[in-house]
């Protein structure tokens, strides 16, 4: 047992070094990148599909999907218009920097403007492993319940953006918005938040505007 903490620290330190290398490669290609995390069924892939459809006529989009076994989500992103690469983790409950590095070699960063990484559906492990992306996005959803920030603090503490999906179900599901917001505010008071429904389209424009702003900022940075 005393060896556990040093071993974990060594693993995370090695992962962080590779994450820095990934970021350098992404920056060198002039690509803006996001890591989308959520529990299974929250709507990660639906958000990616809607985003790809909205942006693919203007931006070149790549999607790297992490899944334990199938390529179903990567197939959906590809059908929407993204260049998609699948990572099957073989049982691992998260992506890490090593896995992402191998996928970056396949996806052709130089031909992209936006890279979307869909992490494995899980509210514990993904938060611990940096990938090298610019922003961490967590997708929550109304049917999951209002207690998730309280139960999974590390996920919410490390997010740059919080998307609350399936708000069209609020009339039908018991969800205390004030309790949810309270948990988020304690952990991450400055997080950027979007309430939306991928099914109805409500609130998606604000998400699109945020993403477009970041893409424009990246273009300015790499053109100067």
Of the two residues 218 and 25, the one the predictor is more confident about is 25
123-145 pLDDT per residue, tens: 988 888 999 999 999 999 999 99
Q: Are 184 and 153 in contact (CB under 8 A)?
A: no
Please state the rounded mean pLDDT for residues 80-97: 88
3-state secondary structure 56-105: CCCCCEEEEEEECCCCHHHHHHHHHCCEEEEEECCCCCCCCHHHHHHHHH
We report the CATH number of the domain holding residue 184 as 3.40.50.300
101-116 pLDDT per residue, tens: 999 999 999 999 999 9
The first and second tokens of residue 52, run together, are 């790809």
Is 222 a residue whose pLDDT tops 60?
no
Q: In terms of residue numbers, what domain contains 88?
A: 4-223
Q: What's the pLDDT score for residue 1?
A: 45
Sequential DSSP letters for 5-25: HHHHHHHHHHHHHHHHHHHHH
pTM beyond cutoff 0.85:
yes
Average per-residue pLDDT for the chain: 91
Distance CA 171, CA 177 (A): 12
For the chain, what percent of residues have pLDDT higher than 70?
Answer: 92
The b/e string for 165-177 (b: 16+ C-beta within 10 A; e otherwise) is bbbbeeeeeebee
Distance CA 127, CA 61 (A): 24
Please state the rounded mean pLDDT for residues 58-84: 92
Q: How confident is the model at residue 11 (pLDDT cuts 50, 70, 90)?
A: low
Residues 6+ apart with CB under 8 A from 92: 68, 120
Q: What's the pLDDT score for residue 224?
A: 37
171-220 pLDDT per residue, tens: 999 999 999 999 999 999 999 999 999 999 999 999 999 999 999 987 64
Distance CA 90, CA 120 (A): 11
Number of domains in the chain: 1
152-168 pLDDT per residue, tens: 999 999 899 999 999 99
Is 3 a residue whose pLDDT tops 70?
no
């Amino acid at each position: 047992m005393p060896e556990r903490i040093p071993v974990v620290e060594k693993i995370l330190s090695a992962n962080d070094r590779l994450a820095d290398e990934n970021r350098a490669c992404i920056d060198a290609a002039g690509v803006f990148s996001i890591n989308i995390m959520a529990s299974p069924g929250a709507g990660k892939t639906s958000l990616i599909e809607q985003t790809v459809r909205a942006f693919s006529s203007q931006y070149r989009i790549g999607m790297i999907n992490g899944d334990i076994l199938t390529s179903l989500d990567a197939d959906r992103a590809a059908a929407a218009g993204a260049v998609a690469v699948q990572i099957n983790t073989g049982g691992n409950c998260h992506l890490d920097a090593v896995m992402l590095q191998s996928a970056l070699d396949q996806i052709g960063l130089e031909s992209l403007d936006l890279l979307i990484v869909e992490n494995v559906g899980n509210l514990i492990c993904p938060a611990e492993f940096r990938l090298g992306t610019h922003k961490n996005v967590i997708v929550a959803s109304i049917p999951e319940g209002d207690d998730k920030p309280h139960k999974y603090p590390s996920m919410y503490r490390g997010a740059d953006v919080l998307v609350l999906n399936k708000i069209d179900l609020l009339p039908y599901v018991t969800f205390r918005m004030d309790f949810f917001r309270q948990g988020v505010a304690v952990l991450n008071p400055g997080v950027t938040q979007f309430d939306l429904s991928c099914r109805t389209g409500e609130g998606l424009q604000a998400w699109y505007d945020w993403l477009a702003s970041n893409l424009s900022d990246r273009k300015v940075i790499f053109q100067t």
